[in-house]
Structure formats: structure tokens, C-alpha cells
Amino acid sequence: THATPRILQIGRLPLPTLETELAARYSVACLADQADPQGFLAAHGAEFSGVVTTASIGLTGEVIAALPHLQVISSFGVGFDALDIGAATARGVQVGYTPGVLNDCVADMAFALMLDVSRGIAASDRFVRQGQWPQARFALGTRVSGKRLGIVGMGRIGQAVAERASGFRMEVGYHNRRPAEGCALPYFESLTALAQWADYLVLTVAGGAGTRHLVNRDVLDALGPQGYLINVARGSVVDEAALVDALAERRIAGAGLDVFDNEPHVPAALMALDNVVLTPHTASATHETRRAMADLVLENLHAFYTSGAVRVSVPGTVAG
Ligand code: 8YV
């Protein structure tokens, strides 16, 4: 005769049906729906044993502190840079997340951005729709096949990007904190050296303090006027102001960006450039992948409430 667990949903979820599914299984309240979230937490914080959030929305230490009976966090996404993991583990709160199931779609998006910025897919679509074809010629693009691909962050997603490169007969190299176990690809200890070597620098590294502004002016200058930057990781990995300068001054050839510093706000300076392709953090946004992520969010909660442990926990959050 256990009571239905009370779950605090921090904000809107990327798959609306997941909200319905959660509400069918648990007693859910959504923090973003409250007129006075602070007051709501003060009055009701002690009711909640679980939290559902997303990699984008995250979870602050302040909210964790306002939930004295919190036992489990289930996050939608693979990134945990926006979650206060330290505050959760200090309290013994388990943290579930959704790695693995989005690798293919994120890697597909990296290639989509690479192809688009090089061949002008979005730009040529605008060209055709605006009726320019009869009057004008669309600018020549840049060949992708056979070029050098530098991957920054050789985790699950980096490996999925590397796999796709073989069909394009691209040479692949990578940079990581240390050589990735079992990875036969050429390892560059220096990111600048990788950028110098590469035609395309693809970011698939985790966000957070450890990688903040890893791609700075020096790295962009090493990538050079023929080089393209593709970011499907986190906006924080790139010094965005330095990127805008490098793009505007054509010190790099172009960029394909799915992530930004201050989402959902994209700097006007970036929107004014014609050598960039911009997507609204949609690398994992397919029906199939978002469904698989939602299933894992539900599984992590279910496993916790039935067996005491989430199915897939953020590394380092479970003792032993
Ligand atoms: C999602 C992400 O778009 O998994 C991540 O880390 O950034 C994306 O897959 C995000 O979780 C949705 O909020």
C-alpha cells in the first residue's frame, strides 16, 4: 500500500506525450506552471521524492535544497552540465539520464550541418523559393567527401560521427582528454594541432566547466580560412564572440551550429552571417530518438521506485 510517488517536473518536456505518461503513473506537479515557483517550493517542496527535468532545463542546487525528501532525478538527455550533480550526490540523490539512444541522430545532424554549410542546402532552398533560379546562379560549394574530419570528444557520439565518415572516404582524427580506449583513429593530444590538420572540426564533447571555451580564437585560427566548425555539443564549448569574429572576418570558412551560449536566443551577429547554418538544438529531435529518450526517463524512475536504483545513472553519482 505505497502511495503514488510525488514527482516534480521542472519544465516542459521535449516529447509532450511523456508528460501525459508521467501523469498517468505518478502524482506530478510542474514547477514552470506555478504562478509563484519559489512560494510553491516553500509550501510543497517536502512532498516530492522525484524530479523529472531535461538536459537543457537542468536542475539547480537551490531547487534541490528546496526538496528535502528528494531521492531520484530522471533527466531527459545525455548532457548533465546543467544539473547540479554535486548537490544531488551530496544528498545521496540518484541521477538517471539517457545516453546511447541519441548517438545516431546527433551524428546524423553533425553530417547534415557539415553538408549544409558546405553545399548550401538551406541557402539554396531559400534561393529556389525566392524565385531566383531563372535569374541567377547559385554559388559553388565545397566538397565534403575525402576531406579531413577532426572530432573533439571521442565518446559514444564522436564514435558514431567517425563511423559515418567512412562512407564519405574522409580521413578522421580526434582530440580527447586522453586516447579513447579501443579507438584506432589518430589521436591528437593538442586541439590546436587537430584544428590545423582538419577541414571540419566537429564538437561532440561534454559541456560544463571542464570544456568551457575549449574552442577559442587560437583554435579557430588554427582551423583557418578553409576550415568549418560544427557544434552539436554545447554552446559553452566555444567562445561565441571569438567565433562570430572569425566567421565575419572569414578567418574560418563557416560553421554549422545546433547549440548556443544563451538558448533559445541566438546572437544577431551570428544570424547576419551567410557562412553559417543554424538549427534550434534539434540534433536529437526525431520521433524515434525522443521516444527512446522518453522511455529511458520512465524506466529510470520505474526502476528506482520498484528496485531502489535507476537503470542508467550519471557517472559518479552512485556510490560503490
Ligand atoms: C536534448 C541534449 O535536446 O541530450 C542532450 O544532452 O542536449 C538534447 O538531446 C535536450 O535534452 C532536450 O531538452
**Together in a domain, 35 and 166:** no
CA 79 to CA 77: how far, in whole Å? 6
Atom of ligand 1 nearest to the CA of 259: 7
Enclosing domain of residue 158? 103-278
**Together in a domain, 96 and 115:** no
Atom of ligand 1 nearest to the CA of 55: 11
Residue to probe by mutation, ligand 1, list 78, 103, 157, most atoms within 8 Å of CB: 78
Residue 47 belongs to a domain: yes
Q: How far is the CA of 59 from the centre of ligand 1 (A)?
A: 14
pTM over 0.80: yes
**Together in a domain, 125 and 263:** yes
pLDDT digit of tens for each residue in the chain (320 aa)? 468 999 999 999 999 999 999 999 999 999 999 999 999 999 999 999 999 999 999 999 999 999 999 999 999 999 999 999 999 999 999 999 999 999 999 999 999 999 999 999 999 999 999 999 999 999 999 999 999 999 999 999 999 999 999 999 999 999 999 999 999 999 999 999 999 999 999 999 999 999 999 999 999 999 999 999 999 999 999 999 999 999 999 999 999 999 999 999 999 999 999 999 999 999 999 999 999 999 999 999 999 999 999 999 999 998 65
* Ligand 1 close to Cβ of residue 292 (< 6 A): no
- Residues labelled catalytic: 234, 263, 281
| 53, β-bridge pairs | 75
Task: Provide the CATH number for the domain around residue 85.
Answer: 3.40.50.720
Q: How far is the CA of 6 from the centre of ligand 1 (A)?
A: 24
Residue 316 belongs to a domain: no
* Ligand 1 close to Cβ of residue 78 (< 6 A): yes
Domain count, the chain: 2
**How many C-beta atoms surround the C-beta of residue 48 within 10 A?**
24
**Together in a domain, 78 and 114:** no
For atom 5 of ligand 1, the residue with the nearest CA is 77
**Together in a domain, 12 and 92:** yes
What is this model's ipTM?
A: 0.97
* Ligand 1 close to Cβ of residue 77 (< 6 A): yes
**Together in a domain, 130 and 233:** yes
**Together in a domain, 145 and 30:** no
Residue 49 belongs to a domain: yes
Q: How far is the CA of 107 from the centre of ligand 1 (A)?
A: 13
Q: How far is the CA of 77 from the centre of ligand 1 (A)?
A: 4
Nine-digit cell at 233? 555539443
Residue in this structure with the C-alpha cell 548550401, named with its chain if needed: 120
Which residue from 83, 8, 101, 109 is spatially nearest to 49, judged by alpha carbons?
8
**Together in a domain, 76 and 187:** no
**Together in a domain, 133 and 227:** yes
Residue 183 belongs to a domain: yes
* Ligand 1 close to Cβ of residue 74 (< 6 A): no
**Together in a domain, 217 and 230:** yes
Residue 314 belongs to a domain: no
**Together in a domain, 238 and 298:** no
Residue 319 belongs to a domain: no
Residue 312 belongs to a domain: no
Nine-digit cell at 268? 544577431
